[in-house]
Structure formats: C-alpha cells, structure tokens
Amino acid sequence: MKNHEIHNYRAKPICDMHMHPHVEAPLDESVAIYNDVMEHFNYEKIVLQALPYYEPINNYKTLYFKAQDKRIYANLGRFHHYDERDTKEFYEEQIKTFYAMGCDGIKLYEGKPECRKVFGRSLCDPVLDKFYEFVEEKQLPMVIHFGDPREFWDINKIPKWALERGWLYDESFVHFDALQKEVEGILEKFPKTQFVMAHFFFVSDDIDYAANFMDKWENVTFDLTPGTEMFFNFNDKADEWKQFFIKYADRILYGSDIYNWHREGKTIEEKYSHAVNLVRSFLEYKEPFTDKWTTRTFDHPFGFSDDILDKIYHDNMVRLFGENSRPLDGDRIVYELKRDLPNLKLNEVTKQNADEIIAFFSK
C-alpha cells in the first residue's frame, strides 16, 4: 500500500522540494531509491538539494540523477577552496557554470553553524555579491539551510538528544541572531531573490518575526521540512499558526529531507516515512494523533482543506521551479567535472561515481 493509503492522507500528487543525494553509494542504487520513494509517497516532482560540503562530487551526482528522471530537479551547492582562490570572480564563474550545466536552483549550506565556522565569512560578504546578483537576475530558487533551532545555542535549553550529538554551539560559532542578520543582509542587497528558507527558517518559536519577514520580503518562501521542534511550536500556538498558514499559503512548501540512504526497515514506509508522516498528519488530520517518530501527541493538528493543501503540497513548488525542469548540457557537465576532478578528493565509491557520470554524459 502507498503511504497515503496506509494513513488515510489525500490521494493527490505531491511535490517534495527538499530531498538530498547525501550518501556515497553506487549511482544505480540511489536511482532505485528515488524511484521507490516517488512511487510510495505519490510524488509528482522532487528537488534534490546537493550538499557538496559533505561530498564534493555531490553537484555532479545531483545532475546525473536529474538526467535519469524527468521528475527530478537539481539544486546545486557552492564549492569553496577555503583559500585565496575563493574570489569574487571564482564565485561568479561558479554560478554561471551551474546555470549553464542545467541547475534548477541553488542550495546554500554555509548557514549551517559548523559550515559557517569553516567558511569563516559572512553569508552576505561582498565576495559573494556577483553570485547572488546572478541568482536574483535569473530568479533561481535559492534554498538556504540557515542555523539550527535557537535552543542549540543555550546550554539550559538544548534538548538532550541534540546535546549528546555535540550540537551545542558555543561562542566559537556565529550566534543565531547574527546569522539571521547575515541572511537579511543578502536580501537587503538582492531583495527580489527567490529565497526558500529551509526548516521554516527556524523561526517557529517567533510568529511575529516570521510574519514580519514574510511581509518585508515578497519573494521569500518557507519550507516545512522538519526540524521536529517546528511542529511542537505550531501545536502549542495552533490557532495563531493556522491563521499564519492560511494567510501565507502561497508561500509555504512541503519537504521531507529524504536521502539516498539505506535506512533500517523492510519497506519503503518503514525506511523513509518518518518526516513525511509528521508533516502530513499535522497538516491534514482533524483529530489529535500520536506521531510514531517523535512519540509526541499533537492535540491541535491543522486539518487543512484541499485548497490550502494543494498549494503547500504542489502548486507553490511548480510556480517556483517550473512545470518542467531546466535542460541539461551534458557536454558542459563532462567538461566541468573533468576540470574539477583534481579538487574533488575522491575515494573508491565516488571515483566510480565520477567515471559513470562522465561515461553517461559522454554518450
């Protein structure tokens, strides 16, 4: 049975704008996982958010996956040398290359606290101006992972599970508020940017900030990919948040953070449904429910009508990314990958990935 049949969700097609090719694996295994996921969750389109920070070949894998399936869109992530080669011209050339190869948008990951620390520059540093200028001019959706829940900066408030994973951010990390200012700094320079704030911009604890931000920047959208804390916060102030969702229904997008990851479990439902079920149950159910993943009971789910769900699950993604993905330029992809190879620090698996990608696009 498909996910919506098991849980009695709506049967309409869904667009998931927040998935990843995160894990080193043979390419055909990943293609099979994406296909299974799309079938099981009734996905019409998905956007893969590349994470070259973790795996430098990730941009090329993302383009490869896009080439395998018309339903897949590719958001590419910035690459850095972390030395004097990271110039204005380097970033400008990079964004133009992404566009020429056939990206559908951009994924920014430098706002993740540990990445921001390594990056060592403000997210709105002038060295990036040409990059952002191009993104704004082409109206490419730019998905930013900014921050983490605010309580991760506070030893007294951080949840135990996050503390155990070493996610407490001390003074050596840029603070949540300062990071938020850096994001606003990009928008102040490039106000028409199609910015998608991943994980609801981690502002579900501050509805006034969220509303002001939406009102101030007309092209900004929020994505609903958990952060489980978002749904606890929505539930705690359900009436206010429900009004927010209705008011900004054209600017809220569905996402699940599913990876090409061999999770434990026998079925696709067991392996990949945890975030999907939290989001969909909370948006759709009218009665209180207990979520398996978080083991929390939500007493005030939104229970939205079809017109709101259509926008969040489907229409907003299509409006932002287009009914069809942008065309790929295979020759350019091969040229760029070969040129990048010395910088990519490949291991056995990713070397194999690179060879297959070159062979595929050379055909």
CA distances from 115 to 93, 106, 238 (A): 22, 16, 33
Residue 145 tokens, joined: 């992972």
- Identify which of residues 203 and 354 has a Cβ nearer to Zn ion in the complex: 203
Please give the angle made by the CA atoms of 190, 194 and 199, to the nearest 5 degrees: 115
How far apart CA 43 and CA 271 sit, in angstroms, is 16
How far apart CA 121 and CA 320 sit, in angstroms, is 29
Q: Where are the beta strands (DSSP E) in 4-104?
A: 14-19, 43-49, 72-77
How far apart are CB 168 and Zn ion at their closest, in Å?
21
- Identify which of residues 97 and 194 has a Cβ nearer to Zn ion in the complex: 194
How far apart CA 125 and CA 168 sit, in angstroms, is 26
Residue 358 tokens, joined: 């070159």
- Identify which of residues 102 and 255 has a Cβ nearer to Zn ion in the complex: 255
How far apart are CB 42 and Zn ion at their closest, in Å?
21
Residue ranges in contact with Zn ion by CB under 5 A: 257
- Identify which of residues 47 and 333 has a Cβ nearer to Zn ion in the complex: 47
How far apart are CB 271 and Zn ion at their closest, in Å?
17
Q: Which residues of 176-186 are buried (b: 16+ CB within 10 A; e: fewer)?
A: beebbebbeeb
How far apart are CB 18 and Zn ion at their closest, in Å?
6
Q: Which residue is nearest to Zn ion (CB)?
A: 257
How far apart CA 241 and CA 279 sit, in angstroms, is 14
How far apart are CB 199 and Zn ion at their closest, in Å?
8
- Identify which of residues 128 and 258 has a Cβ nearer to Zn ion in the complex: 258
What's 309's DSSP letter?
H
How far apart are CB 136 and Zn ion at their closest, in Å?
23
- Identify which of residues 130 and 145 has a Cβ nearer to Zn ion in the complex: 145
* Cα 179 off chain centre by: 18
> Is the Cβ–Cβ distance between 51 and 77 less than 8 Å?
yes
How far apart CA 293 and CA 228 sit, in angstroms, is 9
How far apart are CB 55 and Zn ion at their closest, in Å?
14
- Identify which of residues 40 and 145 has a Cβ nearer to Zn ion in the complex: 145
